[in-house]
Chains A and B, each alone.
Chain A
Amino acid sequence: MNQKPLTVSLSPHLYSGLSIEKSMYGVILALLPALAVSVYVFGLGVLYLTGIAVASCIAFEFAIQKYLLKVPVRALDGSAILTGLLLAFNLPVNLPWWMVIIGSFVAIAIAKMSFGGLGNNIFNPALIARVFLLISFPVAMTTWPKAFAYRLASVDGRTAATPLMLLKEGLLNGQTMAEISAKLPDYGQLLLGLIGGCIGEVSAAALILGGLYLLWKKIISWHIPVSMVATVFAFSGILWLVDPAKYASPLFHILSGGVMLGAIYMATDYVSSPMTRKGMLIYGCLIGALTVIIRVFGAYPEGVSFAILIMNAFVPLINRYCKPHRFGE
């Protein structure tokens, strides 16, 4: 027998073929319908801004891996692209390009690579960047273009408040729910996304479509999105039943703002979410509850980003105490 020595290794000898790249590019693919709706609603500026975010995220990741950390470069494993995409989805389309680049830097350099890169970051990088920008540039970050504003000839009147801002301001000014409702888009518009807002938040339907794809491909499990949306619905529903004149309807809450984007794509971020099913349910429920608390009782009209970041910090604790059912015990 004239043969090369045999390879000796421990089992298993067969693999599922799953890879980080497949998961990441799967999520990117799932986000494309929402991106397409956004281009339709806000114009080509969406692609311009998304392109800047994605390119700068890849560039920062590449530079840090190659020149600073001197580790193998994996800037195209999909995670940097996904961070860029999610960052862009959380920005208004008319944000200046240099702010986007600052956001990418915060996401990649500070929130991700300084912790050790993919897998080691505690917080969701795209959300850290969004919150950083929101606090640093509050005006630019809350100046929302109207839907289809790019088709208008004049520059005036191109921007408008988001439904959640209308709600918050209206309530602060002592308007009743009925008065505010007159200004809010109806549920159909919310679902399809023909409203003002961040690039990626507009169309709940497109986001849900992508979410179903992720579930089908088993890239995410249902636990976090369902528990989070259900909690937002239930909590805001209770408030609404108590006093419909003061609180918005639960359907409005789940279809507006970042609930769908957050529940399906941000809270399910592998790295910063819990490891067990039980933990995921608790995590999702608490994000939902915090979102409603911030929206209804807080100073900001929207609370999904904060809610997810706050719960990111609790993930190690959740992992410590939420164990799977140990077989036979």
Chain B
Amino acid sequence: MNQKKFKSQTFPQGGVHSADLKLSADQPIQPLGLPQTVAIPLSQHIGKPAAALVAVGESVKVGQLIAKADGFISANIHSSVSGKVIKIEDVMDQTGYKKKAFVIQVEGDEWTATIDRSPEIKRGIAFSADEIRAKVMQAGIVGLGGATFPSHVKLAVPEGKTAKCLLINGVECEPFLTSDHRLMLEHGEQILIGVQIALKALGIERAMVGIEDNKPDAIEHLKDLTKNYKGIEIHPLKVWYPQGGERQLVKALMNKEIPPPPKGLPIDVGAIVLNVATCFAIYEAVQKNKPLFERVVTVTGSNLKKPSNFLVRIGTPIQQLIDVSGGIPEGTGKILSGGPMMGKTLLTTDSPVTKGTGGIVLFDETQSHRKEMLDCIRCAKCVSVCPLGLEPYLLMAMTDKNMLDRAEEERITNCCECACCVFACPANRPLLDYIRYGKTTVLQRMRSRQQK
């Protein structure tokens, strides 16, 4: 790897350098076999759960709409398999909560007729901005970087704001994960067409793709491809977590700071941020009429026999992905959905893959436990690594002492939960556990204050 080839950009405040551990970077994306049953939750996105359209006993086809977006901030859900809906029941998803889901018994693999399954790349964009938004909404596309925010909402610029630049997130700054990396290598052109479609929907001309420079092959590949795609620039970024955070990406590429949450959004500085996988999904939805019912998932871990990247139908039990990668290794203590910095631990491997599942990481028992918490030695590491300029040690203490007014004043609600503070803490303090609790409580209080 020759990283010196690029002059890489980065964000200037905070952040940590963590190990790469991209074990599956060289594994091509393989389609995973069809499962026997799938469990497709009605809520796989931020916003209201979708409303069910089919009943128990009905037969469905691949790509058939089975639940309709309920309101503007919600997303359609499509069947990922053909077969019969055998029940609608509560299924534990990756957050550990039980959510209503269609359980579908798979029979054959019959796709709805409107989906274009031909392999050739469709380049010309024949749709207007409104048509694109409608198709994206129809296809149930949400942010595939993990936040799962409905994409059609992002493609509609709110009144009073102007879009200036589309930022494409190909950073993949979490250790271990490689699904976006593989997608850029194998479907780079489709991603760029997806970017063009998004540009057209937004009515702007300029897009910047940010990629961490530990993926030089993806940078080279997309740079070559952009010769034919005007207005799309490829920007190498330094390997520096959380480079892929929305705020950090906008700062690194546009040198602008998004105002703090909950009000501040990228559009406030003229930016719209989409993940590369989301752009690929937009391409498939608009050019191929294909709704979002499958995605690329990395399955990896230091002891796993075959770290892999799979193209997986939504609703497939996670256990099946692990089985094909060589099974759960002896002594596995923890299984994550998502990367090790922000991922959630699974309670059970029966949980289904959802739209937001980018990776499954298996940890050995020896790496699965926290070390004993010691007193804060006030080394200020947490303050210096916080990319948002917060003081985690203080926020933890304020939460612990129930001094929530002070926590609010110290901007606890700005926290993006990137976990740099806990990563860096030499005294093994669970700073973020406290901050999450304090932040949730403060947000609730702010909301009830507004209602008064």
Contact = CB atoms under 8 A, between A and B. Distances in A.
A103 to B, nearest CB: 22
A139 B411 CA distance: 53
Contacts of A324: 13, 383, 386, 389-391
A146 to B, nearest CB: 39
Contacts of A23: 377, 379, 426
Interface in B322-358: 328, 332-336, 338, 340-349
B102 interface: no
A10 B432 contact: yes
B347 A119 contact: no
B201 interface: no
B376 A119 contact: yes
Given A18-B424, A22-B426, A327-B388, A11 B344 contact: yes
21 contacts: A1-B319, A1-B349, A6-B345, A6-B348, A13-B340, A13-B363, A15-B422, A18-B381, A23-B379, A119-B374, A119-B378, A119-B427, A270-B379, A272-B378, A274-B380, A275-B378, A276-B380, A323-B389, A324-B13, A327-B13, A327-B247
B426 A326 contact: no
A14 B341 contact: yes
Interface string A1-22: 1011011111111111011101
A6 B390 contact: no
B19 interface: yes
A329 B428 CA distance: 30
Interface string B237-278: 000000000010001000001111000100000000000000
Interface string B425-446: 1111010110010000000000
Nearest to B383: A275
B162 interface: no
B23 interface: no
Contacts of A327: 13, 247, 251, 257, 260, 387-389, 414
Contact of B345 (A7, A74, A117): A7
A188 interface: no
Contacts of A9: 334, 345, 368, 370
A23 B389 CA distance: 23
Contacts of A119: 374-378, 427
Given A6-B347, A11-B417, 4 more contacts: A12-B342, A14-B423, A326-B389, A328-B388
Contact of B390 (A3, A221, A274, A326): A326
Nearest to B382: A275
Nearest to A270: B379
A271 interface: yes
A324 B332 CA distance: 40
Query: Which one of B338, B374, B417 has the highest number of Cβ atoms from chain A below 10 Å of its Cβ?
Result: B374
B16 interface: yes
B268 to A, nearest CB: 9
Query: Which one of B16, B19, B345, B377 has the highest number of Cβ atoms from chain A below 10 Å of its Cβ?
Result: B377
B389 A117 contact: no
Interface of B: 13, 16, 18-19, 96, 175, 247, 251, 257-260, 264, 319, 328, 332-336, 338, 340-349, 361, 363, 365, 367-371, 374-381, 383-384, 386-391, 393-394, 410-411, 414, 417, 419, 422-428, 430, 432-433, 436
A15 B390 CA distance: 20
A3 B387 contact: no
Contacts of B433: 10
Contacts of A326: 260, 388-390, 411, 414
Classify the interface of chain A: helix, strand, loop or mixed.
loop
A116 interface: yes
A134 to B, nearest CB: 26
Contact of A116 (B365, B375, B390, B426): B375
Contacts of B422: 12, 15
A133 to B, nearest CB: 25
Given A15-B422, A19-B426, A275 B328 contact: no
A3 B322 CA distance: 14
A276 B260 contact: no
B378 A271 contact: yes
A277 B380 CA distance: 9
Contacts of A22: 426
A116 B374 CA distance: 12
Nearest to B18: A14
A306 B106 CA distance: 78
Contacts of A118: 375, 377
Contacts of A221: 384
A122 to B, nearest CB: 11
Interface in A265-313: 270-277, 280
Nearest to B250: A328
A280 B336 CA distance: 39
